[in-house]
């Protein structure tokens, strides 16, 4: 009888031991099923760097972040609109608005993160006041950023636009060019490489940093304007997505604030 009881207890113990891993396995599978992968497009510096440092914290919240790096300003929005990305982080609202208008899209901003200075760089002149007649000036070739550069040139007295102060202006809207400036439009990523090839180049801080250029060497800088805060952007149907919400919170967290302050030392400004 005693032997029967011992045997019964032993069998029960083995059965319990067998059940426990099974239950544990089910819990692990359930947790894995709840994990979410987000694919976010970004330009290299500082956007991708900022996203990369968020991976551990997001992983603890069940979000696996995949950062897809781009060297241009076109594909991050195009691939987000087509569904290849869940979001992107590289642009400010005027650029986003122009993309939506030109492409009949409705991509939406989630949270602002940082503001980049837009600087004029030159190896020939110490200031824009010194720019001589016939000087070559390189500006971005997309409508929004070209307009921004032209307005800056106008504000410095180097030219006059048909509609003064209009950031939607193009080269065709220049009505007075007393110094006969030779204005060249280049793709954003090429501007940093053009500094030694033109007299003045307008370069975004992200491309300057990526090229190892000290942004403090700019001869003129337009910076810290909240209008040009760079946003996390997604599609309308993902605006309320839990993973996107967690990413937005992480981008606006104290940890991100401190990372930006420590790593970039004032080269970019906080946008939140």
- Crossing angle, helix 242-251 and helix 254-264, to 10 degrees? 50
pLDDT value at residue 224: 76
Average pLDDT over residues 94-105: 97
For the chain, give the mean pLDDT.
90
pTM of the predicted model, to two decimals?
0.83
Q: Using pLDDT thresholds of 50, 70 and 90, give the confidence band for residue 32.
A: low
As a whole number, mean pLDDT of residues 248-267 equals: 98
Tell me the domains of the chain and their CATH numbers.
Answer: 35-116+227-270 (3.40.190.10), 118-222 (3.40.190.10)
The residue ranges of DSSP E strands in the chain, in sequence order, are: 36-42, 63-69, 87-92, 108-115, 118-121, 136-140, 160-161, 174-176, 182-186, 200-204, 220-222, 229-234, 269-270
Strand partners, 139: 185
Residue 22: pLDDT over 70: no
Residue 29 banded pLDDT, cuts 50, 70, 90: low
User: For residue range 226-244, what is the model confidence (pLDDT) as tens digits?
Assistant: 999 999 999 999 999 999 9
DSSP state of 179: T
Looking up tokens 């694919």, which residue turns up? Answer: 39
List, edge to edge, every strand of the sheet that includes 182-186: 182-186, 136-140, 200-204, 118-121, 220-222
């Amino acid at each position: 009888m005693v032997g029967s009881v011992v045997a019964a207890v032993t069998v029960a113990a083995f059965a319990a031991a067998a059940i426990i891993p099974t239950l544990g396995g089910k819990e692990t599978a359930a947790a894995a099923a709840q994990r979410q992968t987000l694919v976010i497009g970004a330009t290299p510096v500082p956007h991708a760097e900022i996203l990369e440092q968020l991976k551990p914290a997001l992983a603890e919240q069940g979000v696996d972040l995949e950062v897809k790096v781009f060297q241009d300003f076109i594909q991050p929005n195009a691939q987000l609109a087509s569904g290849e990305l869940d979001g992107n982080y590289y642009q400010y609202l005027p650029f986003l608005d122009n993309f939506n208008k030109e492409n009949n899209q409705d991509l939406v901003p989630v949270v602002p993160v940082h503001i980049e200075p837009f600087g004029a760089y030159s190896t020939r002149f110490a200031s824009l006041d010194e720019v001589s007649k016939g000087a070559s000036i390189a500006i971005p070739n997309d409508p929004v950023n070209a307009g921004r550069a032209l307005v800056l040139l106008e504000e410095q007295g180097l030219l006059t636009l048909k509609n003064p102060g209009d950031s939607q202006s193009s080269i065709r809207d220049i009505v007075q060019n007393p110094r006969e400036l030779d204005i060249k439009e280049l793709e954003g990523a090429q501007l940093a490489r053009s500094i030694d090839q033109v007299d003045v180049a307008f370069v975004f801080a992200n491309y300057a940093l990526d090229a190892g250029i000290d942004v403090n060497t700019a001869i003129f800088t337009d910076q810290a304007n909240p209008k040009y805060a760079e946003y996390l952007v997604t599609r309308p149907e993902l605006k309320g997505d839990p993973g996107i919400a967690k990413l937005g919170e992480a981008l606006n967290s104290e940890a991100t604030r401190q990372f930006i302050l420590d790593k970039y030392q004032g080269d970019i400004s906080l946008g939140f």
